[in-house]
Amino acid sequence: MASNFGSTIRVALFGQSHSAAVGVVVEGLPVGFSVDQARLDAFMQRRAPGHSAWATPRKEADKLRIVSGLNPAGQTCGAPLCGLIENTNTRSQDYETLKRIPRPGHADFTAQMKWHGYQDVAGGGHFSGRLTAGLCIAGGIALQLLDERYGIHVAAHIQEIMGIADTPFEAYNTSAEKTELLTQQMELLAQLPATQLPVLNKDADQAMRQAIAQVKEEQDSVGGIIECVTTGIPAGIGGPLFDGIESALARAVFGIGAVKGIEFGRGFAAARMHGSEHNDAYTIHDGKPCCVSNNAGGNLGGITTGAPLLFRIAVKPTSSIARPQHSVDMSCNELANLEIVGRHDPCIVPRAVPVLEATTALVVLDQLLSFPVA
């Protein structure tokens, strides 16, 4: 099972939703870096379940244990870093029928076709969003490394839920004024408590909360769009074709459950633009060439331009809903109705925001170390 990615920074996830623990093994981290455990714990809590009205009621402390990879002073020591989180609040009995009757929208059916009953179905097993805790362990450390050693910063926010749009990042114009506005937006998001939706507009926060509450009341779910930006990354990082920054991000991002689409810069809107509109002209700033605009989203040919690296992902509605749904009983090959029990998010988008930041940080750090400027 392919549960790893990266070249110099190798990330491997382990565990299942209801196994004893979930976690991550990270190889290739630069040595001598002091991990701020309090900062890492705070980042982990943004993803943790059971702490908000829009999240699953499953209560997990998500107390992180780093069992290898640090010396007694708390610095990376060159050994593989292993971080794990124990699962303490499981109800595996809620999932006993899923080997027979698959949930629409989940991987129950495809897992049965591949492993013929040997898979762990409890909580979705290895397909569960619970596995993203491991991404946040590794990515939380990568975020600190990028910030402190390289001056590179990553931030994400909910751009849209049910047609309710947040203020977009000021990342398409590279003027000093817009760059300052983008910095302010990223600082605002960094200051938001975990109890608030990661949005830039307070009105959008309230409207999104109401929309999520409504679909929860209707025993349904909703998805959304997340926008992510990376600043401070120098020009020349990455490579052409399959090792480029876009390719690496796409591969890693599609490892996050429920992600159904990704676009960079203007993305699909570029298909409706003229070349004269979409091309980013060049100028000289501080004695160096740079782009005037950033329609490309900070990369050309898989290599960074020095402008903010900007992309968005589409997140599907949570597949587990309380409404009755049509399925099949695979044990007798007959039609069946399914009413899902258990504890599920009416909207996973808010908890996916830190996961996207973590994944982006890991890819950027890996690209920085694997494919530096020649």
**Binding-site residues:** 47, 126-128, 301, 316-320, 343
pLDDT tens track for 191-235: 998 888 999 999 999 999 999 999 999 999 999 999 999 999 999
What average pLDDT does the structure give for the chain? 91
pLDDT recorded at residue 57: 58
* Range(s) of the domain holding residue 363: 4-370
Q: Which of these, 212, 222, 218, lies nearest to 318 by C-alpha position? A: 222
Q: Which of these, 153, 190, 147, 154, lies nearest to 35 by C-alpha position? A: 147
pLDDT recorded at residue 304: 97
- Tell me the residue type at 279: N
CATH number at residue 118: 3.60.150.10
**Binding-site residues for FMN:** 126-128, 301, 316-320, 343
**Binding-site residues for NADP(+):** 47
E strand intervals along the chain: 4-5, 10-15, 21-27, 64-68, 81-86, 153-161, 164-165, 224-231, 259-264, 282-285, 288-291, 299-300, 303-304, 309-315, 325-329, 334-338
Model's pTM, two decimal places?
Answer: 0.93
Domains: count for the chain: 1
pLDDT tens track for 10-57: 999 998 888 888 999 999 999 999 999 999 999 999 988 755 565 555
Indicate whether 130 pLDDT > 60. yes
pLDDT tens track for 272-324: 999 999 999 999 988 889 999 999 999 999 999 999 999 999 999 998 888 89
